[in-house]
Structures are given as structure tokens and as C-alpha cells.
Structure 1
Amino acid sequence: MIKHIYPNKVTILYKETSGKGIIAGSIFIKGGSIEDPQDKKGLTNLAVRMLLKGSKDYSQFQLNKIFEDSGGYISASASEDYIEIDFALKVEDFDKGISVIKDLLFNPLFPEDKLQQEKQNTIAQIKAKQEEGFSYAFDELRKIIYKDTPYQYSVLGEEKDINNITIQDIKDRWNQILDSSRFVISIVGDLPYKKVEKKLKDTFANIPLKTDFKYPVYNKKIPTSECKILQREGAQTTILLAYNSPTVKEGKDFYSMKVLNGILGAGFTSRLFQEVREKKGYAYAVGSVFPTRINIGTFIAYIGTDPKNTENAKEEMVKVISSVKEGVTDEEINISKEKIVGTFLLEHQKRAKQAYYLGWFETIGMGYETDFNYTKNINKVSKSDILQVYNKYLAEGYSCVIVKP
């Protein structure tokens, strides 16, 4: 495993593997949609969607063909905290693929004739989310739990803002993003580092250093007394409960919460599934998620239920989550750990996922070494750790959104 930081502060992570001649990478650029201006929410997402529309030396067709002819792919996406460019191809095509990526970074075309199409696609996506119960409820929940921070807005942005975004806005945003202090490049593949070192340096060491990028810090806590009830057309009620939780900065608490989430809401063996769906029959779908967050940690329990069961279902969810204060069993802890570790190891069977996790851990501030210690840290979580994290975070209460017909 090699970590190299260029003078311009670009971080290179490289892991050599042996196998069938595949190489994959993830390019992370720190700073996502939370940097969008107040009246141009969705700008970062739109800029990233436009990125693969072609560059000075490669048309959209040509750049996709180079990766697809190699049995691979190239894709780009935006999230709240970072931008991600992923790729994979055969080792013999690596130089060609990196040449395409270099031209995309330094010479994107951002063709104006494609902008209107991407705006329409984005607006259609925003409207589609409003038709889906969970997505609609989560976007409403954002406004409560992330109020007065940039996280209260979806990565897709606001429909009224999308129409205001111009090609010049896209170009200006990309110029802001093309700052070497933001870049983490993670590559895993069947090539010795010495064979790629020169090409990587030629591509990434020349990105201009404009700032010393640091993530903004938001210490906001989720309010624990607000419950918003909304009505919309549909056949079921969607309920989301949001609790305060640790961020990646909280170390031990972070891993304890991962295991507690597994106990409460991950899969068929979880308490929420067993108690709310199997025993009570309230749920079409039920579970919980604990997203890995740089800012404002959140644990979210969710359910889709028959409207007539709305109040009972909500009360039962709160009761199940509160039941942790009475204790958890060794069996529950072991099952949760096995699910987390098993999923993590299975995902690492692919070079693309290995590259992703190494780069992602580095980008969010946990350090790439976390990839090698993650399962060990999960397995170290004890019963007392779980009770401590429950009392520290979940016992404070929750905010909720209920969307019903």
C-alpha cells in the first residue's frame, strides 16, 4: 500500500494486486453540494453531470468508448461533501484511460447545447423523488434535522434554482473545484506502482493549488421535539424518526453506533423487523440507517405502513428503539457484527470497491488505514459500548416526519 502526497497537496493512494489484469480507481474531490450558492442549489450536481459530455480531445462518445471497449466504465457523481469520478479498465489500457481523465479535468467542454437537457433530466429526477414516499419524507426531514445548514438541501437542488444556472456558473464552479488540495486519488490494480507513477504524476501533480481546503464544521444537534405531519396522494404512510448520532470524528462511538444500527434495523433479524413487522404486522418495509457523516450524525428509523396503523406503528417503533436501555443480547451483537463484517468483506472482492473505500476513508478524514482496521474495530465493540452510545445519543429523543394520504 502506497500513499504519496505531491507538493501541490494531491493525495495518491495505490494498492497493487495480482489477478486478471484489471485496474480501477476513484478520484475524490472534497467539497460537494454544501458549497452551492444559496440561489443555485444543484449547481455542483449539474456541473458533474456535464463533466462527461466531452473534453477538448475526446467527444462524449469517444471517452465512453475507450473505457467500454476495455470492458470497463467511467462515471461521475456528486454528494453533499465530495465529488467522485470512478473508472475501471484493463491494465494495458491504463495510460489511455488516464489521458482521458486528464483532459476531462483540465479541458472539459461543458457544451451549452447539453445543459438544457441535463436541467430537464435533473428536474424530472426531483419530481420523481416527490412521488416516492421515502424520498419525499427524507427531503422534508432534512429541513428539520439540518435546518440552517447547507445539508438541508438535496444534492439535486431546488427546481427553481436549476433553471437559473448558466454555463458560466458551471465553468466557474469547476474552476473552484479544480484545486489540488481537494483531490484524493485511490487506485487498485494489477500493475506495479513504478509502471504508473510517471503517468499519475503527469496527470495530477499539475493541478493548481488554490487553497488549503478544509471541511466546514457544523455542530448542530437534531431537535428532539419536532414532528411534521404531511399529506400527499398515495396508498401508504411513511414514517421517519431521526435521532442524534456520532459523526466520523467520534471514533469509538461511531463503531458502536454501527453495531447498534445493525441490532435495531438492519435486515430480517433486527428488532424493528421482528417486532414491528413480524409480530405486529404493521410494516410493508421497516428498518434503520446510520449514514457515515462528517457533520451532524444521524440515525434514522423508517417504516411504510397502512394509514390506519400510523399511530400504532410510530409508537411501536419508538418502543423498540427505547428497548435498548433494557439491554442487548450477545447473540444480537454477534449477528450484527457478522452482517457488517460480511458485507464489508464481500464488497472488497472487487478492485473498484477496494479503491473506493481507501479513497473514501481518506477523503472523509478517517484515513485510508481505516480500510484495514474497520472490521477489527467493529469486532471490538462491547455490550457496554452499545449501551453507552444509546444513552449518549438515542435516549435524547427524536424528530419525525409522517407522510400519509
Structure 2
Amino acid sequence: MTQTVKPSLSHSSIHRTVLNNGIVVLVAENPVADIIAARIFVRAGSCHEQRDKAGLAHLLSSVMTKGCEGLSSLEIAEQVESVGASLSTDATTDYFLMSLKTVTSDFPEILTLAGLMLRSPTFPELQVELERRLALQDIRSQQEQPFTLAFSQMREVIYQNHPYATSVLGDEATMNGLSREDLIQYHQTYFRPDNIVISIAGRVTQTDAIALVEQVFGHWQVPSQALPLLELPEIRVEPQHRLKPIQTQQSIVMLGYLGSSVSSPEYAPLKLLSTYLGNGLSSRLFVELREKRGLAYEVSSFYPTRQYPGSFVVYMGTAPENTSIALEGLRTEVDLLCTTEVSATALQAAKNKILGQYALGKQTNGQIAQIYGWYETLGLGIDFDQVFQELITSVNAKDAMAAACQYLQEPYISLVGQETAINNALV
């Protein structure tokens, strides 16, 4: 038996079903192309790692495709590639993801393979060691990139002991300390049917999709032990600055603020302000600091959507001799948000931009499966697709200023560049 939730009128093509074992299945019927895409989410990302095992979810995602019950890494690759399909895995802060795409006729075969990999990975020791070495190369490579260094130390000062402080890759010490047994334990703890969302989009009916998911996953039983409770430390707002002197031809100047989670009322105003400030060639930061003043090689802002409080970040890459004035320019532009209302024209332009980009991000079956599965995994529900657009549309200038006054007051500062330049910037 399954429990089917009738979609709202705005989601007449999206069907949500809960199987008896707790798996949530979302189906978007899209018969235009002979393609089916699926996203399998597990509600466990790097937030569910112990601090001394940072990078575990990433390593698991890298090794997941390298062997499962009865199949080697090569046999998995041959089965996928022989039908021109794609199958990959990834880990983020908030969830684990398995992505697949096939022509309609091959979907049963590839979903069956995905189910086997998800339930019965073998984590071959040699593959674990190989993927660990590749992860260590990525970690070392990131340590040579000024922007990554700046953002890394920004995360650390904003989030302190919270898992968001750490890269999904972890660091060299934690990655070196991971074992195959750690992967097995993490998999046994979190990979269970009542912790999974399967989102499917393409040329398939709801009835056929549910029948196939039942066939592949229906006998997967919920373990007797409850899922561990996720106890996260409080994030204290203690603005400070962090400097990283390196030999480079540019300075990275970064301001950060602790924002809200996606479920907070202030999420939409902050998302809109980030778009207004630093999204694209017409954004406030680009026009004022790059076009008019010539300060920036690059300038932007970002405010990633997170299950827990996200970070609101503005940054600039600039010549070393401009480090001080770049820092002053960024601070001035953010501070203006708390003292001067964004004009109606600029606010509407930001709304049009964010909603237009949002619409363009739902063109393919893969994008459709991703966004609805993501919303379900974060606990927002499929209606958030419509709710998000309504929230953005309803933000007014007073809402935006109130959010800025609440969240964008005293910044955390992260500077990376030549030692003299970044030291002088804080004098």
C-alpha cells in the first residue's frame, strides 16, 4: 500500500507518494522528450559527520559508484555506458544525491542498478584509497586558490563549531583519518528508506513510476533503531576579521554576514538583496565599484540556500594597492541597504532577474527532478516552488531594509593577498 498526497492546483503535474517503508516519491510527467531523469536524495550530508571525520560524506559519494553487490566498478560503468545513460553521486552540506538520466526504455534497468548501488555498496579498499588520494589533491589545489582561501576562513569565523564551518571535502587531517569502516557505519546509519526522497521527471506516468520504485525499493525495510537526532551547536554572531598573506597579484576582499535558513521569513528579502547587490553585469556592486570606479577584477555576492542559517557574502578581487579602498567600497554599499530604501525600479529589476533565472533553471527533466526533490528533502514541500516565487514577488523596500538592518550590520572580514596590502586595509 502507498499513501498518495493530492497535489495543489499549481502542481497538477507533480505527484507525491509515500511508500509503506517511508520513501517519498515525486513524479513529474513530462512527455515532450523520450528521456527520464531521477534524483535520489538521502537526508544526510556533511552536517551529519562528526567534526573529526569531515569529508566522510564526500568520500562515500566518490566510492559509492565503485562497486556494489555482484558488480565491480568497471561492470557498473559498462552497464551505464552501454545504453548511453548517466549516473553520478554527490554530497553537499545538507544531503547526499544520486543522479541518473536515461532514455525511457532503459530507465527500469538503470533505476534497478541505482537501487543496488544505494543499498549494497561494497566500498572496495583499493577504491577507497584511490578516492581519498584524489580528494587530498582537491584539498591541496584549493589551498592555492585565493578566493577559496578567503571563503574558507570566512566560513570558519562565521560558523565556529557548526558543520557549515568546514568544506565538504574536510581537510587533509580529517580525510587522511577516514577508514572503510567509517563509510560502512555512515551508510548503515543514514541510508535507509525512511530517510530517502526519489524525484522522477520525464516520459513516465505516475502509476508506472510508482510501480517501478516499489519493485526496486519496496522490500527495503526500515531498521528497528531510530535515526540519530542531529544536535548542532548554536552559532554565535561574533564579527571579526581574518587575514591570509600569500604571494599573489590580487587581493580578495570578502565581507560575510550570518543570514537566515531557507524556512525563515527573512530568507526571501535577503535572497533579493543578494541579487540586487551582486548578480550580473547590471548589479549594484558591478556598476558602482567596477564600471564607475574601476576597482574590481571581479565583484559579486552570493547567499546560498541552506537548511540551517546561510551566509550572506560580498567579495571583490582587486589590485593590491586598491585593497583598502575596495574594503571601504564594499562596506559602504552594504551599509546603504540599512539606511536607504532600494528604489522601486531597482527592486523590481532584481525581482525580474531572480524569477527569470529561476524559471530558466527548470527547463530540463533533470532540473525539474532536482528542484522538487531538493525542496522535499529540506522539509519545504513541493509547494515551495510556487511559494518561493510568491515570496520574492511580495517583498517590498521596507521588508528589504528591515532584513538588512537585522542581518547585515557588522561584517566578518576575510582578506587574502600580499601581506602589506591586507594589513594596511584594516589600519
Are 1:232 and 2:246 matched, yes or no?
yes
- Secondary structure, in 3 states, of the residue corresponding to 1:138? helix
Aligned residues of 2:341 and 2:398 also touching (Cα < 8 A): no
Question: Which residue pairs with 2:357 in the alignment?
Answer: 343
Q: CA separation in 2, counterparts of 1:338 and 1:72?
A: 36
Aligned residues of 1:32 and 1:78 also touching (Cα < 8 A): yes
Once the 2 structures are TM-superposed, how far is the Cα of residue 214 of structure 1 from its aligned partner? Answer: 5.8
Per-residue CA distance 1:62-90 (angstroms, 9 max, x = gap): 33333334443111011111101111111
Matches within 5 A, 1:387-398: 387-394=401-408, 396-398=409-411
Identity of aligned residues (%): 28
Q: 2:358 corresponds to which letter in structure 1? A: F
- Secondary structure, in 3 states, of the residue corresponding to 1:163? helix
Once the 2 structures are TM-superposed, how far is the Cα of residue 217 of structure 1 from its aligned partner? Answer: 5.1
Question: Which residue pairs with 2:193 in the alignment?
Answer: 180
Q: 1:158 corresponds to which letter in structure 2? A: D
Are 1:169 and 2:182 matched, yes or no?
yes
Question: Which residue pairs with 1:261 in the alignment?
Answer: 274
Once the 2 structures are TM-superposed, how far is the Cα of residue 206 of structure 1 from its aligned partner? Answer: 3.2
- Secondary structure, in 3 states, of the residue corresponding to 1:14? strand
Q: CA separation in 2, counterparts of 1:379 and 1:68?
A: 44
Once the 2 structures are TM-superposed, how far is the Cα of residue 46 of structure 1 from its aligned partner? Answer: 0.6
Structure 1 221/208 Cα, relative in aligned 2: closer, same or farther at 3 Å? Answer: farther
Identify which range, 154-163 or 210-219, moves more after superposition: 210-219
Matches within 5 A, 1:5-404: 5-210=18-223, 211-212=226-227, 216=231, 219-224=234-239, 226-251=240-265, 253-324=266-337, 325-394=339-408, 396-404=409-417
Q: CA separation in 2, counterparts of 1:182 and 1:22?
A: 27
CA RMSD of aligned residues (A): 1.6
Identify which range, 148-157 or 117-126, moves more after superposition: 148-157
- Secondary structure, in 3 states, of the residue corresponding to 2:305? coil
Structure 2-normalised TM-score?
0.90
- Secondary structure, in 3 states, of the residue corresponding to 1:39? helix
Aligned residues of 2:276 and 2:284 also touching (Cα < 8 A): yes
Per-residue CA distance 1:334-364 (angstroms, 9 max, x = gap): 2211111111111211010000000101111
Structure 1 unmatched ranges of 5 or more: none
Q: CA separation in 1, counterparts of 2:161 and 2:51?
A: 11
Q: 2:405 corresponds to which letter in structure 1? A: N
Once the 2 structures are TM-superposed, how far is the Cα of residue 35 of structure 1 from its aligned partner? Answer: 2.1
Once the 2 structures are TM-superposed, how far is the Cα of residue 171 of structure 1 from its aligned partner? Answer: 1.5
Q: 1:238 corresponds to which letter in structure 2? A: I
Q: CA separation in 1, counterparts of 2:364 and 2:306?
A: 24
Q: CA separation in 2, counterparts of 1:6 and 1:311?
A: 58
Aligned residues of 1:182 and 1:213 also touching (Cα < 8 A): no
Q: 1:115 corresponds to which letter in structure 2? A: V
Q: CA separation in 2, counterparts of 1:272 and 1:218?
A: 34
Aligned residues of 2:162 and 2:234 also touching (Cα < 8 A): no
Structure 1-normalised TM-score?
0.95
Identify which range, 162-171 or 287-296, moves more after superposition: 162-171
Q: CA separation in 2, counterparts of 1:314 and 1:301?
A: 10
Q: CA separation in 2, counterparts of 1:391 and 1:45?
A: 36
Q: CA separation in 2, counterparts of 1:380 and 1:88?
A: 36
Structure 1 214/383 Cα, relative in aligned 2: closer, same or farther at 3 Å? Answer: farther
Identify which range, 368-377 or 311-320, moves more after superposition: 368-377
Identify which range, 77-86 or 160-169, moves more after superposition: 160-169
Aligned residues of 1:242 and 1:301 also touching (Cα < 8 A): yes
Q: CA separation in 2, counterparts of 1:375 and 1:391?
A: 23
Per-residue CA distance 1:102-150 (angstroms, 9 max, x = gap): 1102221211111221111000000111111111111111110010222
Structure 2 unmatched ranges of 5 or more: 1-13, 419-427
Total equivalences in the alignment: 402
Q: CA separation in 2, counterparts of 1:219 and 1:265?
A: 29
Question: Which residue pairs with 1:4 in the alignment?
Answer: 17
- Secondary structure, in 3 states, of the residue corresponding to 1:96? helix
Q: CA separation in 2, counterparts of 1:216 and 1:8?
A: 25
Aligned residues of 1:178 and 1:208 also touching (Cα < 8 A): no
Q: CA separation in 2, counterparts of 1:205 and 1:348?
A: 29
Structure 1 310/52 Cα, relative in aligned 2: closer, same or farther at 3 Å? Answer: same
Q: 2:26 corresponds to which letter in structure 1? A: L
Q: CA separation in 1, counterparts of 2:147 and 2:19?
A: 43
Aligned residues of 1:257 and 1:389 also touching (Cα < 8 A): yes
